Chain A
Amino acid sequence: MTLDRAKVASVAELARLAINDDELSDYQQALNDILALVDQLQGVDTSTVEPLANPLDATQRLRADVVTEGNQREQLMSVAPHAEGGFFLVPKVID
């Protein structure tokens, strides 16, 4: 499977990464090189194999739906690039 430039551009959009035309060619090359490596998997018969998500085949642990962490809003927002009055500020989204 090789990627064309349009595909690379659409992946960059999904990943929310700005890339210019020069970079696009570099990514195309790099991704195609890596995909050539990973395409080895296609030759292996896995028709009867269940995918393994957790290496110990552990299932998600559940807990009671109660609050266990205290409110640390000020502290956790202290690292925000732009925050005010308990809100994270971003460029206007709604017209």
Chain B
Amino acid sequence: MLPTTLVELSRGLARGDFSSRELTQHYLDRIKQLNPSLNAFITINEGQALQAAAAADESRAANNATAMTGIPIAVKDIFCTRGIKTSCGSRMLDNFIAPYESTATAKLQQAGFISLGKTNLDEFAMGSSTETSFYGPTANPWDISRVPGGSSGGSAAAVAADLVPAALGTDTGGSIRQPASFCGITGLKPTYGRVSRWGMIAFGSSLDQGGPLAKSAEDAALLLNAIAGFDERDSTSMNRPVEDYSALLQQSIRGLKVGLPVEYFSDQLNDGIRESVHNAAKELEKLGAELHEVSLPRTDLAIPAYYIIAPAEASTNLSRYDGVKFGYRCAAPENLSDLYRRSRAEGFGAEVKRRIMLGTYALSAGYYDAYYRKAQQLRRLIKQDFQATLAEVDVILGPTTPSTAWQLGEKNADPVAMYMEDIYTLAVNLAGLPGLSIPCGFAAGLPVGLQLIGDYFSEARLLNIGHQLQTVTEWHLQTPKT
């Protein structure tokens, strides 16, 4: 029986319990067996992965290996991977072979990780269920009639089903944390600017952040260590040294002040989720943390603010897809206008087009002040609420999502219904704060996630709290029957 965490796999490789080639073959076999029913992967890099595994074994034999050398990983198909198809879950990029490597995936390679393939996502990261993908939905390994969450649903499902020990995702409004919650795994959205966005296909440039999905906070820290860092090529990358995100894991949380916002525990919240989250909070209390009631009064306004800002930024970012320089081009364009209009209408799916339309409207002359500027003002108020609260407490705790994983197809009739499910995660992206989702129980047999929100660049502290909870609970050790 092979171990399933990065920590244990690293030890096993170092001891010679198994080789990287054996490990890689093991995961590739599992992918072959389970991907047909899960559809977690868009592209599987079998040949390259086995080659890289052989090279990793040689490095290890020559004493040139590091902790993560030769460990398989999966990458959300939104990161440009040189020479490998990078589709962003869209027909628009179905034929796109990335001509360059993103900074985040280059750093994974430098750390020794071996990518087994590119995982499924909502088209251009727009969605909360991985149902808008051009390649069809991904299934939740806990119940394949249900969604894995989104937009990093492929990465989350792959980790939950042990197709890989960890994966890279992106989060613009909850797209790492929510699927982590729905799939019973750990997911971290780092502080805005912590991980380079260069080569990470842009959706909402002031909101997007790449981050880890893994089996534990301990593993997420190892992955964050590999991908974090200042990048000259990303003008929003923060010039801050990369600390060791594993360094604080063992720290006691005695005296830690944990704030539970009243707005996160309203009557609307599913009772099973409420109970799981409260029980987890009590476990933190037993470890010495202090629970405090706090208030984030503008919680509800995060939804309208986000659903103006994100589509607005998306409309600008997606204007580059014009059938000229790369991507899908319509057949027999009559003139330049026809080329643009039909390439885009045919290349993009319905949700993406809805958001482009909304964003275009919100930014257009005469409406910019009432919508985009207004939303940016709300954004500052939301940020201020968090800052005021984080001056009173060390960390904010609440459910990651108001519901557990819904049925495939259940929420497709009304886009707004799905938008409402993002209520606890959106504000964190608006404020640019780091957020960690960890498993904290089950409701009617489906995973429940708890979210921890910390101050800017407090990822080590969040991972510490997550790890401490994971030393006294076993939710993160549960795996679906596959």
Interface residues of A (CB under 8 A from B): 1, 3, 7-8, 11-12, 14-19, 27, 30-31, 33-35, 37-42, 44, 46, 49-56, 58, 60-61, 63, 68, 72, 75-82, 88, 90-93
Nearest opposing residue in chain A for B340, CB measure: A16
Contact B301 A44 (CB under 8 A): yes
Contact B236 A54 (CB under 8 A): yes
Say whether B171 faces chain A, with CB atoms less than 8 Å apart. no
Say whether B31 faces chain A, with CB atoms less than 8 Å apart. no
How many residues on B have C-beta within 8 angstroms of the other chain's C-beta atoms? 75
Contact B206 A55 (CB under 8 A): yes
Q: Which residues of A contact B100 (CB under 8 A)?
A: 72, 75-76
Pick from A35, A41, A61: contact of B305, CB under 8 Å: A41
Q: Which residues of A contact B329 (CB under 8 A)?
A: 81-82
Nearest CB of chain B from residue A92's CB, rounded to whole Å: 8
Nearest CB of chain B from residue A55's CB, rounded to whole Å: 3
**How many A-B residue contacts, CB cutoff 8 Å?**
171
Q: Which of B340-380 contact A (CB under 8 A)?
A: 340-342, 344-345, 348, 353-354, 356-358, 360-361, 364, 370-371, 373-380
Nearest CB of chain B from residue A29's CB, rounded to whole Å: 10
Nearest CB of chain A from residue B356's CB, rounded to whole Å: 5
Give the secondary structure class of A's interface. loop
Contact A90 B206 (CB under 8 A): no
Q: Which residues of B contact A72 (CB under 8 A)?
A: 99-100
Say whether B248 faces chain A, with CB atoms less than 8 Å apart. no
Contact A55 B378 (CB under 8 A): no
Say whether B308 faces chain A, with CB atoms less than 8 Å apart. yes
Q: Which residues of A contact B325 (CB under 8 A)?
A: 77, 79-80, 88
Q: Which residues of A contact B328 (CB under 8 A)?
A: 81
Pick from B193, B353, B378, B429: contact of A44, CB under 8 Å: B378
Contact B357 A11 (CB under 8 A): yes
Q: Which residues of B contact A92 (CB under 8 A)?
A: 335
Contact B357 A53 (CB under 8 A): no
**CA separation between A78 and B82, bound complex, in Å?**
12
Contact A18 B342 (CB under 8 A): yes
Q: Which residues of A contact B193 (CB under 8 A)?
A: 56, 58
Pick from A17, A35, A58: contact of B356, CB under 8 Å: A17
Q: Which residues of B contact A46 (CB under 8 A)?
A: 374, 377-378, 381
**CA separation between A64 and B340, bound complex, in Å?**
35
Q: Which residues of B contact A41 (CB under 8 A)?
A: 301, 304-305, 308, 371, 374-375, 378
Contact A90 B380 (CB under 8 A): no
Nearest opposing residue in chain A for B419, CB measure: A37
**CA separation between A60 and B232, bound complex, in Å?**
12
Given A17-B345, A56-B193, A79-B97, 19 more pairs with CB closer than 8 A: A8-B357, A15-B356, A17-B348, A18-B344, A34-B415, A37-B419, A44-B378, A49-B381, A50-B380, A51-B373, A54-B206, A54-B432, A55-B429, A72-B99, A76-B99, A81-B323, A82-B329, A91-B336, A93-B335
Nearest CB of chain B from residue A88's CB, rounded to whole Å: 5
Q: Which residues of B contact A50 (CB under 8 A)?
A: 377, 380
